[in-house]
Structure 1
Amino acid sequence: MIKGKLIGAFGIPGSGKSTTIKKMGEIMNIQTFHEPEEKDWADAVRSRNISGNFTGLMWFRSIRVPQYYKANALRDKGLNTMLDSCYDKLFYLYHDKEGLEWLLCPDDPYYEEVKSISKKDLELLPDLDIIIFFKQTEENWTKFIEKRNRELDKDRDFKKSFILQNAFIEAVEKYCNTSECKLIIHEQSFTDPYVEAKKIIKKLQNHLI
């Protein structure tokens, strides 16, 4: 049986991944998997100031990891499918980069546990066939952040996370250079998601044959 393709989106938070991937799924008629919206976040995330970022990180991981395996099962059936985030697969490659302190600091009591888990995730989670990197200008990123208006986006340290973009690019390039995964870098514009989705689909065509 011919295997399908497992496609993952990657980019800094607020780069337009989820909206564009959802639109791509509609156009291509393939299943997409998404992170929960802020309104659906559990207390593990909402109360991270009390319970710590580790608890919040593990809640998100508990949502996303099953999605990897569901997507992988569809791929094994010969279907193409997409994840709107491949943070867990790549986190070990950028967990210690400047700009991520709002999420994980080296002095966090669970830092070594996160490091160990993310290393295992890189090794054990299903490999991706294609990664779409959503590259942003700082001006457009600011517009996306203002538009989605999440409480987390108002955090002073989170607002510094644009500097993570270069680290994210290095991480995804390293992964793709050491695997069979193909990389598509998409210059995301602040425009109609349908327009952006069509641009990416056009770039994908040669990789889906």
Structure 2
Amino acid sequence: MQLDFSTLTPLDAYRWLASTVTPRPIAWVSSVSADGISNLAPFSFFQVISDEPPTLMVNVNTRADGGLKDTLRNVQATGELVIQLVSYAQAEMMNASAAALPHGVSEFERCGIASLAGERVAVPRVTGAAVAFECRLAEVQPYPRHAPNSHLIFAEVLLAHLDDAVLNEKGRIDPYSLDLVGRLGGTSYTRTRDTFEMSRPG
């Protein structure tokens, strides 16, 4: 089978890409509007892209009507965000926060998700998140530039909150205890507990 992407609709292209490039980590992004309204939303087009400076990248697509999502608007307005990783224990809450709510409605409040104040940024973080990165905006890049349908948020990590329960006896991350969820295609997800090890050749 071959797929000629030049003949596919954007929806079909998304479906094929999202169901093959898996598993994808999920950025559970909290932000605050210029009016002080908190927002929380998950994004699975997400990755770490640099360690100097430590930088994460989140791709935020435009809304179906072409408008900008609250996450992007908030981050552009304040220059701050918190990126949480999603554990299996919080998967249902993450999914609830993906609902399309009216502008100005907080997912924290609507979904009953508890929060803690940020320490380096004026953005709340999800209570109980195994990992939460407090970030400042490095830059936003529209893509494609001639007719953007998404925006790449480059977020420099300032401070990370790690739950002691996900650390091993050496103080390093234990993948089994971390128990993150990853996005597959459609409505499918996976967990990171099924692991194996290989040593890189010298």
Give the alignment's TM-score, normalised by structure 2.
Answer: 0.28
Q: More helix by proportion, 1 or 2?
A: 1
With a CA cutoff of 8 Å and minimum separation of 6, indicate the structure with the bigger relative contact order. 1
Larger radius of gyration: 2
Give the alignment's TM-score, normalised by structure 1.
Answer: 0.27
